[in-house]
Each structure stands twice: as structure tokens, then as C-alpha cells.
Structure 1
Amino acid sequence: MVVDQSLIIDQRKQRNWTQQHLADACGISLRTVQRVERDGQASNETVQALNAVLDIELSQQSQDITKKATHQAQIDKPVWLQALPLMVALVTGIFLGALLAVLVLSK
């Protein structure tokens, strides 16, 4: 399951807990906490334990993940795709300008 590792890290640091302290409180290994904070991947049981100990609602986790995924998708777009609406507007403007010129000059 994907988790928002920055949310986990922030909540842990707000409490001034070490990774080992969080692991002990959740009943999971230190290695698991390290993996969650590094990769953002965890089993359902680990996520439930972290959410319970850190008092995080699952909906908050999914909202943060969705925001990050949307932001990352925007960053990952190629430059030409980001500029596509501008290019379409430019080509449309040139076409309409040429059409208008032809209509005016043909009279």
C-alpha cells in the first residue's frame, strides 16, 4: 500500500520520536519504519499501526497521496505537452488571421 512518507516523517518529528521509538510504539521493526519513510510502501497492517499510533486518518493519507501524484504528474509532463495549449492557440490565431486577410482582400 502506498503511504505519504512525508506525513509519517512529519508526525514522528513533531513528537520528537526516533524511528526506533515509532517502531516500538507500533510493534513493527525499525527496518520497516525506515522502508516506509524512504519508499512510501507498507503493508495494510503497518499502515493501520502507523495511523493508529500517529493518530492519522486513512482519508488524510489518501488525500495527500492524491495531491502528490497529481503534482508529480504535472512535473513529469514533457515540455512540449505543457506548451500544447499555447501552441494550439497560436496556430488557431494564425489560421484565423490568414482567413480574415483573405476575406478582406478578396472584396
Structure 2
Amino acid sequence: MDMNINSDLLKKLRLSKSWSQEQLAEEAGLSLRTVQRIESEGIASLQSRKAISQALGVDPSMLDVESDSENSQNTESLPKPVNQHVFTPRSQAGYYLLVLFRSVSVGALWLILASNAFFGVVLLLGSIFYWELTPFTALQSAGAGIISTLLIVVPGHLVFVWLYKHAKRIEIVQPIEKDSMESRGQVL
């Protein structure tokens, strides 16, 4: 099966070892005419490709035209990773603030569920013990849920949202500077 070989790369590898086509043919165990044809046309059989790559000491797939063009296309199309933030002791406060924000949010949700459950239990028990259910009792339980939500959950949530959004501005989490990354040996 004939394969396309990157003839320019083959020639560069041969010249980097300071070999002539004849020396490459001897090392690979091929005829001179075969090496000349591969370098000029860029077409070689699987066995010739293996023999040449073994003689040059490279991976056989390195000589393929398809893999060379695919690799160059893949590396050009991939975005370079950018490290925007680095975990430092200053950003540790931001991390703990985020953990606190999440735990308080979960606690606030439990408070809302508890107040709604309390309202549901009062209505359920009120329907069983109908003589104790008054409009005032129902309003009381609904009011407890609404008031606890408005006075505790919403302001607490807003405070943590504000702190989280403004963490950069109050310098808890700082974006990393490009020159400091280069001094650490990291490349963008």
C-alpha cells in the first residue's frame, strides 16, 4: 500500500545526519532509485516508510503528509489556555467567602422550606382540628413564612451576592498580571 510521505521533511532529516541519498539507501536497506523516487514524488510503500524511519531514528508517523497537515491544523485551531487567576493567600479569603455564601444560601433555602412546611402543617392540623383554625392562625403562619423570607433570607442573600460580585474590586481575588506569569516561567 503506497502512502504519501512528506518529502521535504525526509530531505531535512537526511541532511541533518549529513547523509547522501546513497547512504540513506544503504542504512535503510533500499535501492538508491527507491530513495530518489520517495524524495522526488513523496510516495512510499509501508515497508519503505518503516525502513527509512528506522534508519533516521524517527517515528514512522512523523513522515506522513496527512499527520503533518492535521497536526498543524489542530494546533492552529486550538485556543491557548489562559490562566486568569492564581490561588494565592489573598484569594484564599475569596474562596472562603464563596464557601460561606453557598452554605448560607443552602441555610436560607431550608428556612424558606421550613416556614412553608410550618404553614402547611398549620393548615393540615387546622382542617383536622377545625375548631382551632381561624383566619388569624392561617395568616399568622403565612406571615411568619413571608416575614422570615423578607427580613432574613433576602437581605442575607443580597449581602453575599454583593460581596461575591465585588470580590475583585475589594482585592480578595486578583487577576494575575502577564508580567508576573512570565517571571514565574508560565506562558500564556
TM-score exceeds 0.5:
yes
Partner of 2:54: 52
Query: Any idea what the Cα deviations from partners look like across 1:36-78, whole Å, max 9, x if unmatched?
Result: 000100111100000111112123223225468x7xxxxxxxx
Number of residue pairs aligned between Structure 1 and Structure 2:
69
Q: Distance in 2 between matches of 1:8 and 1:2?
A: 12
Which of 10, 31, 34 does residue 32 from structure 1 map onto?
A: 34
Which of 10, 13, 16 does residue 15 from structure 2 map onto?
A: 13
Higher normalized contact order (CA 8 Å, seq sep 6+, divided by chain length)? 1
> 1:64 aligned to 2:68?
yes
Q: What TM-score, normalized by structure 1, do the two folds share?
A: 0.58
Structure 1 ranges of 4+ moved more than 4 A: none
Amino acid at match of 1:51: S
Which of 11, 18, 24 does residue 22 from structure 1 map onto?
A: 24
Contact 2:10–2:63, Cα closer than 8 Å, also in 1? no
Amino acid at match of 1:64: D
Partner of 2:160: none
Query: Any idea what the Cα deviations from partners look like across 1:13-48, whole Å, max 9, x if unmatched?
Result: 001100000001111010000000001001111000
Amino acid at match of 1:49: A
Q: Which runs of 5+ in 2 are unaligned?
A: 74-188
Specify which structure has the higher proportion of helix. 1
Partner of 1:42: 44
Amino acid at match of 2:34: T
Contact 2:24–2:35, Cα closer than 8 Å, also in 1? yes
- Larger-gyration structure (1/2): 2
Q: Distance in 2 between matches of 1:2 and 1:66?
A: 14
Q: Which runs of 5+ in 1 are unaligned?
A: 71-107
Q: Distance in 2 between matches of 1:57 and 1:30?
A: 22
